[in-house]
Structure 1
Amino acid sequence: MNRYFVRRLLATIPLMFIISIFVFMFIHLIPGDPAKTLAGVEASVEEVEAIREEFGLNKPILVQYVDYMKNLFHGDMGRSLKSNLPVTEMIASRMHYTLRLVVAGMIWAPFLGIFIGVLCAIFRGKFFDHFGMLFAITGLSAPGFWLGLMGIELFSVRLGLLPTTGLDTWKGYILPSLVMGTGIMAVLARYSRSSMLETLREDYVRTARAKGQKEFWVMFSHAFRNSLIQIVTIIGLQIGGLLSGSVITENIFSIPGLGRLLVDSIGYRDYPVIQGLLMIFALQYVLINLIVDMLYGVINPKIRYD
């Protein structure tokens, strides 16, 4: 298992290299000239060219990419074109807001989603199954921005119960966590149900019942435990989605996290910040998938890593 982990960890290096190429080329396809944006509409041609030369924007794209990768290997993501601050410092100063949002969404969403999915599988075809799946499909279909705006309208404007911006108090986490967690709750409810139904059809479940084991023990010791592999996979993917999907939530509730920084940076054509954020999002996806693979062996000791 240790050798497998090391091999997978080393495999992330060429993968991140390929991702960096796509990210860098994608950024430079964004319409607009960052030098003109920084200089202003009344800037002269000489001023715009001076900005290009200062930040190396007048170099060929290939040369810019090589320079960027050299600095990246030394832990330097460059400096912001707008604020001239180091990109690593900007990301580090805002990351805790996004992480707090993700934790707030993950506190309740996975547990509620798995709970609903498992109960729907147990009571398949009955009222709770239909109601639970209707609830899940509704949560999956509702756009995040709509949930956020409706939550603000109901709980903040009309009832005055919850704040509309920031994370200053525990109440400030409620609406953003609902927006962040509703989608993952709905996805996990559906996948938990289908995974449990598939597991309940296995021979070892029928054997356990034939041996006279109690239904509760059959459900949660045999069926639920063996269905966890698929559920953990979905949870891992959803965590990655929460980190990169915080853009909508942070902009609705004016939270200065990574998502808000990404939107602001795109508006200013701040190439180094956009590149740094996209690389961070890609890296966390890769690492989360690696952690999920490691958890397979914990859930099912029969799994062997070759």
Structure 2
Amino acid sequence: MTSFLSKRAIASAISLIVLIVLVFFLSRLTGDPASLYLPVDASAESRERFREINGLNDPLILQFFRYVGDLVQFDFGMSIRRSEPALDAVLRAFVWTLQLAVITMSLVTIAAIAVGSLAAFRVGGLFDRLATFLSLIGASAPDFWIAIVAIVVFSVNLGWVPTSGTGTVWHWILPIMVLFIRPFGLIVQIVRGAMIAALSSAYVKTARAKGVRNRPIIFVHALRNAMLPVITVIGDQAAALLNGAVVVESVFGFPGVGKLMIDSILQRDFTVVLAAIFVTAVAIFVMNIVIDILYAVLDPRIRY
């Protein structure tokens, strides 16, 4: 098990290094920050001075090696736009995204496992058909459309919740609701398919022959053996949220890392872009290690 996790950690570290290299050079293709932050009629001397202050006048390869040297010391540089350490700005935004992702995925996981398991128990029944229909709609609906409709209906017309912001608990309802729908639909489908296979297995038939009640059969005997593909999909959906629910954060004015990353790209704030990519990638790699550990807990064969 330790050897397996070590190999995964090394693979993740290599992926992180490649990602940093790609993002560093590709972000420079967005243009010269001096053209964005200085007036149109700024002199050549002013532009050169701006580049010198922000370390942008050196050759690109020299900038890269200087950045790597600072990165080893966890120094991501200063944000051009915000005049503060880039890592501070990213961590502040990442906390908001992490809270949003944890709350949403906790609700999604509980609801999807319950609905998918019950739907699989009576295949073709009314509950199964209703759950399948609604989950397919949820998995197919685009986030930006759901977000706009939710604002029009619940904020503008009904006035139940605010349109945007993070001031109170009520501000969290619409973002969580919109982010809930798509992963819920996907996970319900996966749970249902995995549970149908598990409920038709020999050990479930033996449990039924011994007189075991339906609830232990569904949520003890069958569910544990059906969870491996479910955990994979849950991990993918959680990674998508950690990577920044860009559309939802932008529509609802949520100060998460996804919105910060998009704003920083448009503002050519390279240090913030790189810091956001690094923090998000590390979080996703850690989550993948946790998923591997859960695999081993659910299926002891994986340990070997």
Q: TM-score range by the shorter chain?
A: over 0.9
Change (3 A) 1:60 1:142: same
Pairs within 5 Å for 1:159-170: 159-170=158-169
Following the alignment from structure 1 to structure 2, what is the Cα–Cα distance between the partners of residues 279 and 231? 27
Answer whether contact 2:104 2:180 (CA < 8 A) is retained. yes
Provide the TM-score with structure 1 as the length reference: 0.92
Say if 2:201 is the partner of 1:232. no
Gapped regions of structure 2 (runs ≥ 5):
none
Offset, 1:304:
4.0
Answer whether contact 2:27 2:270 (CA < 8 A) is retained. yes
Corresponding letter in the other structure for 1:52:
R
Pairs within 5 Å for 1:73-84: 73-84=72-83
Pairs within 5 Å for 1:126-205: 126-205=125-204
Answer whether contact 2:244 2:257 (CA < 8 A) is retained. no
Change (3 A) 1:123 1:26: farther
Offset, 1:7:
4.1
Identify the residue that residue 20 of structure 2 maps to in structure 1. 20
Identify the residue that residue 52 of structure 1 maps to in structure 2. 51
Change (3 A) 1:112 1:9: same
Answer whether contact 1:23 1:279 (CA < 8 A) is retained. no
Answer whether contact 1:165 1:254 (CA < 8 A) is retained. yes
Pairs within 5 Å for 1:57-136: 57-136=56-135
Offset, 1:265:
0.7
Following the alignment from structure 1 to structure 2, what is the Cα–Cα distance between the partners of residues 114 and 144? 22
Following the alignment from structure 1 to structure 2, what is the Cα–Cα distance between the partners of residues 236 and 6? 19
Identify the residue that residue 33 of structure 2 maps to in structure 1. 34
Offset, 1:246:
1.9
Higher mean C-alpha displacement, 172-181 vs 7-16:
7-16
Identify the residue that residue 303 of structure 1 maps to in structure 2. 301
Offset, 1:202:
2.6
Following the alignment from structure 1 to structure 2, what is the Cα–Cα distance between the partners of residues 70 and 116? 51
Following the alignment from structure 1 to structure 2, what is the Cα–Cα distance between the partners of residues 53 and 113? 54
After the TM superposition, list the runs of 4 or more consecutive aligned residues in structure 1 that deviate by more than 6 angstroms: none
Answer whether contact 2:97 2:241 (CA < 8 A) is retained. no
Identify the residue that residue 286 of structure 1 maps to in structure 2. 285
Change (3 A) 1:202 1:28: farther
Q: Partner of 1:85: helix, strand, or coil? A: coil
Following the alignment from structure 1 to structure 2, what is the Cα–Cα distance between the partners of residues 64 and 190? 48
Following the alignment from structure 2 to structure 1, what is the Cα–Cα distance between the partners of residues 199 and 36? 60
Paired residues, number: 304
Q: Deviations over 1:94-148 (max 9, x none)?
A: 2222222223312422211222211221121122212111111111121111111
Offset, 1:3:
4.3
Following the alignment from structure 2 to structure 1, what is the Cα–Cα distance between the partners of residues 135 and 73? 46
Q: Partner of 1:46: helix, strand, or coil? A: helix
Answer whether contact 1:296 1:303 (CA < 8 A) is retained. no
